[in-house]
């Protein structure tokens, strides 16, 4: 059984609560590790440490901050296999996916290392003579980073790397389902010589830790990935902090009648069942042209039924477990709801007869766009097939949900692709590729109930900094904009 502590002001410490909690291995439902249950006092101590560290870290030249990020990237690379195997045991997804999770962290720290020599501002002409105008980036201050369990190293890295390169200090709260991965990431940061107080880790519940971070008066920003309900709570309770929210999706793959069906099938299998459907970008809807509906259904069921469930450490496993028992119950609930609403269950739809939190890959056909299984985020290995007659109808169905994160269209017609790109309401659209697989140097985020803000790429810098405007007047006299500006036409 692994053990983990809080990390405050450069030291691993026990919680003031003197309480602990256990995280489980979802493939066995047995304990994985025991971790500290943080409380308000711990959060206060972490904020004090972050506040004390902020002036020095803020004044550290960005290229020097980047040297630490580069060392983090190097250490992650050296420890990739070890971290991937720990993640399999605590989170459940298969080894090739956990390796990808760590690789994302490597990539984002490496990318943000380069931003240490950029952090670009702008220059602009003044409307007055002998006056110079420019902008540059300043950190927010102390930021709270609240992360989910499905990418327990990648998503924290997506938030930590840009926050740190911008000069912020951080209070990091991971999911209570995957605290062990967070502890391992902090160990990497410590080994890379991050100054004490710059990054602080508080494990524990949403009530005892999360809410304290959200409401804390000394924090300047919150970055959250998780549910819509929690995002709404943050919006209502964070006050005037700068808030970034990534809240999930009900993503669709459109398959047109001119699509390469085998290519589309690979994308559907990966999008619907990768990470056991536990991705905010998972393809939980397939909107298929009626001309190829029957052929696609037959191929999809045949392939889904061959997927092998088991421990993610086995190279032969295709799909790992769901994260916990509640996730299994949720998948069971939506399966029963789909059948009740007269969708046709083609395969799966039940918990696997094995230890751990396994649920069989599930495919529904004859799904109507307004059915709840086609509207609500399930976060499990369940995909709904919706038949349409043309591209306009497909786009209308695609846009009929409250979310707008990721989307995809399979077609060999460039006109279909361009219309979809322009008319689908989503932050991300793929053409002839699945809905999952973001790259760290490009913006990631969505529209509508998916939230606001963009992570990764250059937009992550905008999330964790503010732009300061500077006017330098070297005329030697008072110049008043809009009053002393020369009117060229009158001249």
Length, in residues, of the chain: 491
Catalytic machinery residues: 246, 280
Helix, strand, or coil (residue 153): coil
CB 200 within 8 A of CB 7: yes
CB 432 within 8 A of CB 443: no
Q: How far apart are CA 69 and CA 160, in angstroms?
A: 10
Q: List, in order, residues 6 or more apart from 205 with CB less than 8 Å away.
A: 21, 37, 176
Burial of 138 (0-12, 13-18, 19+ CB in 10 A): middle
Q: What are phi and psi of 56, to 5 degrees?
A: -70, -45
Comparing C-alpha atoms, which of 2, 140, 153, 179 is closest to residue 77?
A: 153
213-236: b (≥16 Cβ within 10 Å) or e: bbbbeebbbbbbbbebebbebbee
DSSP 209: I
Q: Helix 62-78 vs helix 179-191: angle between axes, to the nearest 10 degrees?
A: 120
Place of tokens 């940061």: 189
Torsion-angle region of 287 (φ positive above 0: left; ψ -120 to 50: alpha; else: beta): beta
Q: How far apart are CA 99 and CA 77, in angstroms?
A: 10
CB 241 within 8 A of CB 164: no
């Amino acid at each position: 059984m692994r053990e983990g502590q809080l990390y405050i002001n450069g030291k691993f410490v026990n919680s003031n609560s003197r309480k602990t909690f256990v995280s489980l291995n979802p493939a066995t439902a047995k304990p994985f590790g025991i971790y500290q249950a943080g409380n308000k006092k711990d959060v206060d101590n972490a904020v004090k440490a972050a506040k004390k560290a902020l002036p020095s870290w803020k004044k550290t030249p960005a290229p020097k901050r980047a040297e630490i990020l580069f060392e983090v990237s190097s250490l992650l690379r050296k420890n990739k296999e070890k971290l991937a195997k720990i993640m399999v045991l605590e989170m459940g997804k298969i080894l090739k996916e956990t390796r990808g999770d760590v690789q994302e962290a490597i990539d984002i720290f490496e990318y943000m290392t380069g931003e240490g020599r950029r952090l670009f501002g702008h220059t602009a002409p003044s409307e007055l003579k002998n006056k110079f105008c420019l902008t540059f980036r300043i950190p927010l201050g102390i930021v709270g980073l609240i992360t989910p369990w499905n990418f327990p190293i990648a998503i924290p890295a997506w938030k930590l790397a840009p926050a740190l390169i911008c000069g912020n200090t951080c209070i990091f709260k991971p999911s209570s389902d995957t605290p062990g991965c967070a502890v391992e990431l902090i160990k990497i940061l410590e080994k890379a010589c991050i100054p004490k107080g710059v990054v602080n880790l508080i494990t524990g519940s949403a009530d005892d830790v999360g809410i304290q971070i959200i409401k804390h008066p000394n924090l300047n920003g919150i970055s959250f990935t998780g549910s819509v309900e929690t995002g709404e709570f943050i919006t209502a309770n964070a006050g005037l902090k700068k808030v970034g929210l990534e809240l999930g999706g009900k993503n669709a793959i459109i398959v047109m009648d001119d699509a390469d069906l085998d290519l589309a099938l690979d994308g559907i299998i990966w999008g619907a069942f990768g990470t056991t459907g536990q991705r905010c970008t998972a393809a939980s809807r397939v909107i298929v042209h009626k001309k190829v509906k029957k052929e696609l259904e037959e191929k999809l069921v045949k392939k889904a039924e061959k997927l092998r469930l088991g421990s993610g450490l086995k190279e032969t496993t295709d799909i790992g477990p769901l994260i916990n028992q509640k996730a299994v119950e949720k998948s069971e609930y939506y399966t029963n709801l789909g059948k009740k609403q007269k969708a046709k269950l083609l395969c799966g739809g039940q918990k696997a007869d094995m230890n751990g939190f396994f649920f069989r890959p599930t495919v529904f056909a004859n799904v109507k766009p307004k059915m709840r299984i086609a509207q609500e985020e399930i976060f499990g290995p369940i995909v709904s097939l919706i038949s349409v007659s043309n591209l306009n109808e497909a786009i209308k169905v695609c846009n009929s949900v409250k979310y707008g994160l990721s989307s995809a269209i399979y077609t060999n017609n460039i006109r279909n692709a361009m219309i979809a790109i322009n008319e689908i309401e989503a932050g991300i659209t793929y053409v002839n590729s699945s809905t999952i697989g973001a790259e760290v140097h490009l913006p990631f985020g969505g529209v509508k109930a998916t939230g606001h803000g963009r992570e990764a790429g250059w937009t992550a810098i905008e999330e964790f900094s503010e732009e300061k405007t500077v006017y330098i007047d070297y005329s030697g006299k008072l110049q008043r904009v809009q009053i002393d500006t020369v009117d060229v036409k009158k001249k």
